[in-house]
Structure 1
């Protein structure tokens, strides 16, 4: 049996904790034994979402086979947040096995000296400050998680699920991780190098309802031959108006948006073993030539 010890700090984000915990809990159902435990400097740890969590206050002795994971906490900034005393940081530093973090939890690893000379990541809102606080570390920006030896760091909130699935896949194989992801109704197990913000999110920060409806249509049918005339009929306006509204709201044309969705999905398929040709046809391209050109762009 392998232990997974979660080190909790006041203000912990529930999903930072619950996502990875559910992955390892699900592994038990597959006959992959994991013992989950929760430690903190206080017995009742308030979460950012308002509920309190019970934790042991005695830091356990660890073996190289154990995993210590620090979930993130509410942190508009890192400085002055996530209080951890010297004993907890010394315990982290002395652990001979794998240490992982989600979101702001990377700051705890930094204070323990575990990021020095290593590659790491965190939530995109905290990347600059993490780099400033730990200049001996190399912060890899806008990725889901980074593995550098025994130190594994991930981006914000839901990326902890991706991190935990990766650790299961590394130890037990990708099929086991895929079964857990299916049980959790996770749409797809993402790779560490995937971007934190998908194309869907990057171009949705506007308030134009018409364009949001058009984006819904493109996203539902991005593998099809969707013409500007199709979008115009759906919006009840001219093709010229569609292009003007879409470009003003998102900064790109409808065609470019469809291409981004296709490329992003193709990248995911390639990362999971598909050939460029196979991925290109799966997302609606006739062959791999256009996909190669768009990837190079």
Structure 2
């Protein structure tokens, strides 16, 4: 088993966490060592553990970092015979952490888009797209994107979802409808609270996270199906042109083909059909 170290960004505190194989399989380590790591022999992952079921603290605010992405990161490190560290940061600090050389990879939780791919490499992990969660009073009224015009919608700051809802607001205005009042919050949990507290009519979030949020707030927030279609993929991001990039692409395919990713997805109640590493 590998050791996981959590580095709390900006605080200089290093917490030792016991890591383990996500799949329970004795996967054979890769024969090719990965060169150019921030810390030789150790993969450093930038992560924001505020995004269940992809990456989150097992007890809500501390302890082991778990989730689909986190367990995939563990499995990739094991596949390559390496230890790993968590570089814990805010969501908007993920990409700067990678491009600034504080970590070797971001294990998912970020859409693959042109802006990010211009500064970093990414290997596909799963199909995804934006989704809407709304208060029980508002949800039945939402059947199309245009029904969001004029509403108060919360989004996570610096996210692709925030950009999507802002673009939709511009479409509303262009079509003679009222703009969407978009309020951005640093954390996903804050966007959920905005809906629960009545500060927002709805929130926009990635579909896999939206389904989890509904189950955790049953009766108080509703996942509205059909507003957006899956339109992109989550990527496992690496530094532009680094040796990690090809290793991650190869490693994800291995973990997919040997059934590890399937087991991790099932562990977190994610539909296996969304997995896509090709």
Larger Rg: 1
Higher normalized helix content (fraction of residues):
1
TM range (shorter): under 0.3
TM-score normalised by structure 2 residue count: 0.25
Higher normalized strand content (fraction of residues):
2
